[in-house]
Structure 1
Amino acid sequence: MRRRIPIIATAVLAMGLAAAPQAQANTGYENQMSPEACEKSQATSLFKYAIYYNSNYGGAYRNIGYSVWDFADERIGGAPQGGTQPLRFCHGGNGNGQGIKNNAASVKNKHTTYYAVTYFNSGYKGSADWSSPRSQTNLSVTKNENASFAWQTL
């Protein structure tokens, strides 16, 4: 006996409305709303990249888990939506509540495999500071001129 897929399920799949697998989670949502970003310390967060307001890993910071196309507009649920949705520093200290774009001075990369690349321009473009796996770096090229971040391999 052949098993039949219900008509509604077939229609949903045909329209591409089925839920995305967990591996394809909405990264904008995760970077904005996950407890890993603002409720956990950099030491305990599962997010592997932390960006700091001050040099030498001082002041406010935010944990980030996924590449960010534009720090000034990290969309929840994709585009388009009204207004911008900036990522902000959320752990107390100097710079708390400030937008990350063009305000960061240092980063930590806890990843064991990937380089954390902080870019001058949005869209992973322009000059960049590369942080090797398991390192911390004062930004030099992009200090207070940072617009996006991506994980990279060599």
Structure 2
Amino acid sequence: MRIRSALVALTVAGAGVVGLAAPANAATNTCNPSHFCLFYNSNIQNAYYPFWDNVADFSGYTFKGAGDGAGQAVKNNAASAQNLQTGLVARVYYNSNYGGVYDNVQPTSWRNLSNTYNNNASFKWLWA
């Protein structure tokens, strides 16, 4: 009886570990070199949008790729960002036309947005 109980406990515990391996909605979307990408979720996860040039208003842009956020508007929906440019800082603004509070994403890095988390409307390159 004890052996059977132990086997049941191990089976249940094993099922829990397997369930933690990868969320069903996880997607491996990656930002292209020399681009700046906004991601729908924190920790550069799920759908994203790659930018090359400054954008004064995110209206009309929608997240690409797979997973959560695919097809959703970029404006006021980004949670994290990745900058794969060297020598340029990517600045995400709260308002359209480069206004309001902002978050900087340093060259060749990523971060979760704080000042513009799910409240972002424009982006501009700045010299590092």
SS, match of residue 94 in structure 2: strand
2-structure distance, mates of 1:61, 1:120: 18
1:22-75 deviations in Å (ceiling 9; x for gaps)? xxxxxxxxxxxxxxxxxxx635x3551011000001111011111100001xxx
Aligned counterpart, 2:50: 63
Aligned counterpart, 1:42: 30
Contact 2:78–2:119 (Cα < 8 Å) also in 1: yes
For the aligned residues, what is the CA RMSD?
1.3
Identity over aligned residues, as a percent?
41
Aligned counterpart, 2:123: 149
SS, match of residue 151 in structure 1: strand
What are the residue-to-residue correspondences of 1:103-118 with 2, within 5 Å?
103-118=77-92
2-structure distance, mates of 1:51, 1:91: 12
2-structure distance, mates of 1:63, 1:91: 10
Aligned counterpart, 1:90: 64
Contact 2:33–2:85 (Cα < 8 Å) also in 1: no
Q: Gapped runs of 5+ residues in structure 2?
A: 1-28
With normalisation by structure 2, the TM-score equals 0.74
Q: Gapped runs of 5+ residues in structure 1?
A: 1-40, 73-85
1-structure distance, mates of 2:65, 2:49: 6
CA positional deviation for 1:138: 0.3
Contact 1:47–1:63 (Cα < 8 Å) also in 2: no
Larger radius of gyration: 2
1-structure distance, mates of 2:109, 2:73: 24
Select 1:136's aligned residue among 86, 110, 113: 110
Count of residue pairs brought into register by the alignment: 100
